[in-house]
A and B are shown apart, each in its own frame.
Chain A
Amino acid sequence: MTDYAAIIPLSIIALSAIAAMVAEAIRRPGERMPIGGFGLIGCGGAALASVFLWDSDAQSFGVIRADNFSLFINIILCTVGILTMLFSNETIEREDIPGGEYYALTLFALCGMMMMAAATDLLVIFVALEILSLSVYVLTGIRRASAGGAEAAFKYFLLGAFSSAFFLYGIAFAFALSGSTRLEQISVALSSQPGGAPPTLAWLAVGMLAIGFCFKISAVPFHMWTPDAYEGAPTIVTAFMSTGVKAAAFGAFVRVFLSTLEPLQAQWIPLLSGIAGITMILGTVVGVVQTNVKRMLAYSSIAHAGYLMLGIISANNTGKAAVLFYLLTYAVSNLGALGIVALLGSAQNQHDELRDFAGLSKSRPGLAALMTVFLLSLGGFPPLAGFIGKWYIFAAAVQEGHYALAIIGVLTSVISVFFYLRIVVMMYMTEGAEAVRPRLPGTAVAGLTLATIAVLYLGVLPTRVLDLALASISTIF
């Protein structure tokens, strides 16, 4: 309670968000101001703070815990944040997005994400969830001129509100079970159940919480918002939310289900297995016929959620570490891919239809090559990050004997390769009309370089990061 160390990273982010707001307030109309810089500083600071906090296992207010697990997620989120900021510069101007609000909301969302992953109290998780959700709803609809944006935002919002009601109901049952919303107390209450047969309340709590999490990670059948929201949102926001929200939600998901609700494993593993199976299948299968790149990547994101769930279902150390590692690889790959889409787009032309990519290798060979790298990483080709991530997840699943799920996983990833390659086909094997494509700001170059290096580094020399991921779960659970 007296120790504030654990909240330092998220406080830094929150402060930078407020700074961005203030800066926007004092900005004279027409003046250009590098507001994104606050974000960069904030994310960098938070990352730095997380590094310093490593192994400290600090706790604040009894509800925020800076164990290595949450710090690892912090670092993923900071990576997401930094890349987003780097891609945002100029992109948001082209897309007519109000800068100050955009940066502030993004940073608030990040703050909420960090909070969610670090919280050890269901109530705080709920509040954090709402912070990040509301920010993201607003970001989705931030382009006022876009009808699609508003529609997407409302759909996302309404379904999100429903799901948080379910989530909240789950918290209520958990509360009824133990008289507290603290995870450790719920855990105690659960493990003190005589005979091990959990009462109806525990089942209801597990079910409702699972629904809430599954919505956030967009698992089938709670995924319906995903394609619409991803398509309707500004591309850069799509990039941000597809990676950040997933990371935060999975952080909390893992924490709640693999520590607190671990005694109920036998109950929820079959359930999540079913969901994961359908998620992988539906995500990839429906992705096959998409012609909008963002929508396609939305379905891919659904499928990836399915893969990630395998880590939770495995419920072993490999699985937990695999989720962390996978989140990182997915974050850099997906941000890279969507970042490029964002960099190519403008308010008039989102550049998110497949045919927009025709002949990109001619007009922008560098971008086309990088896009290919990111897509192949998403598809799980060695020697790129995505391959190691997938391998790790499947290794966890196989370790626990979930062969069927692992086989579904690998086969669907083959199908997913088909649609990733459709973009490659467009870029390299199809002649396209010479489109006017905007120039690349320096920050974006830096961001792409960073993402590429990360994808290659994680693919070729994953050892260090894998060890970190393993270490970060072994210290806490």
Chain B
Amino acid sequence: MITLNHYLILSALLFAIGTAGVFLRRNLITMLLSIEIMLNAVNLTFVAVGRYLGTVDGQIITFFVMTVAAAEAAVGLALVIALFRHRETLSPDAFTALKW
């Protein structure tokens, strides 16, 4: 039988995979994608917990998270475009003018 814990662990794994995206990929867009993975992992937790507790709040929060994700994506992608205009590259390692 599938329990809440299954879902929670699954979401934790997805969250961890999301974090790994930052290190594994040298591409700004993929980094943004990893954030989406993390947010979705959290969403899964919300829905599962809501289901377990018998409240719709979990799903409602999920909607808010989607809105936030959309907003973040918009701004994030705009920033990616702006960066690309300056350097013609999407490699995060190219943007190290500010340091120390």
A interface with B by C-beta (< 8 Å) = 123, 126-127, 130, 134, 137-138, 141, 144, 147-148, 150-155, 157-158, 161-162, 164-165, 168-169, 171-173, 175-176, 179-181, 227-228, 231-232
Interface residues as binary, B45-77 with A (CB distance below 8 Å gives 1, 0 otherwise): 110011011010110010011001001100110
Q: A162-B35, A227-B98, A228-B98 are in contact. Are A176 and B79 (CB under 8 A)?
A: no
Cα–Cα, bound, A141→B76 (Å): 11
Max count, chain B CB within 10 A of own CB: residue among A144, A148, A164:
A164
B24 at the interface (CB under 8 A from A): no
Number of A-B contacts (CB under 8 A): 107
The answer for the CA separation of A14 and B97 in the assembled complex, in Å, is: 35
Set A126, A148, A155, A180: member contacting B57, Cβ < 8 A: A180
Are the CB atoms of A154 and B72 closer together than 8 Å? no
CB atoms of A126 and B98 under 8 A apart: no
* Known interface pairs A126-B68, A130-B72, A150-B79; 17 further A-B residue pairs with C-beta atoms within 8 A, sorted by A's residue number: A134-B71, A151-B97, A151-B98, A154-B95, A157-B76, A158-B28, A161-B32, A162-B22, A165-B35, A168-B42, A172-B45, A172-B46, A176-B8, A176-B45, A176-B52, A227-B98, A232-B98
**Contact of B35 with A148 in the complex, beta carbons under 8 Å:** no
Q: Are A161 and B15 in contact (CB under 8 A)?
A: no
Complex CA gap A409/B45 in Å reads: 40
Interfacial chain A residues near B32, Cβ < 8 Å: 158, 161
Q: What's the minimum C-beta distance from A355 to chain B, rounded to whole angstroms?
A: 17
Contact residues in B for A181 (Cβ distance below 8 Å):
57, 61
Measured between alpha carbons, how far is A168 from B39 in the docked complex, in Å?
8
- State how many angstroms separate the Cβ of B85 from the closest Cβ of chain A: 8
A-B contact pairs, 28 of them (CB 8 A): A123-B61, A126-B64, A127-B64, A127-B68, A148-B97, A151-B95, A153-B79, A154-B79, A154-B82, A157-B76, A157-B79, A158-B28, A158-B31, A158-B32, A162-B19, A162-B38, A165-B42, A168-B39, A169-B38, A176-B45, A176-B49, A176-B52, A176-B53, A179-B49, A179-B57, A180-B55, A181-B57, A228-B98
Which of B31, B46, B49, B68 neighbours the largest number of chain A CB atoms within 10 Å of its CB?
Answer: B68
The residue on A at minimum CB distance from B8 is A176
Instruction: Judge whether A154 and B46 touch: CB under 8 Å.
Output: no
Within the complex, the shortest CB–CB distance from A183 to chain B, in Å, comes to: 14
Compute how far the CA of A179 lies from the CA of B49 in the bound complex, rounded to whole angstroms.
Answer: 8
- The residues of A that contact B57 with a CB separation of less than 8 Å are 175, 179-181
Of all chain B residues, the one with the shortest Cβ separation from A162 is B35
**Which B residues are CB-close (under 8 A) to A228?**
98-99
B94 (CB) vs chain A CBs: closest residue: A151
Docked CA distance A127–B8 (Å): 23
Q: Which residues of B contact A169 (CB under 8 A)?
A: 15, 38, 41-42, 45
Min CB gap B64→A, angstroms = 6
Residues of A contacting B28 with CB < 8 Å? 154, 158
The chain A residue sitting closest to B72, CB to CB, is: A161
- Could you say which residues of chain A place their CB within 8 Å of the CB of B95? 151, 154-155
Q: How far is the CB of A261 from chain B (nearest CB, A)?
A: 19
Given the contacts A137-B75, A168-B39, A150 and B82 also touching, CB distance less than 8 Å:
yes
B27 CB → nearest A CB, Å: 12
> Is the beta-carbon distance between A157 and B42 smaller than 8 angstroms?
no
With most chain B CB atoms within 10 A of its CB, the pick from A165, A169, A231 is A165
Which residues does chain B contribute within 8 Å of A176, judged by CB atoms?
8, 45, 49, 52-53
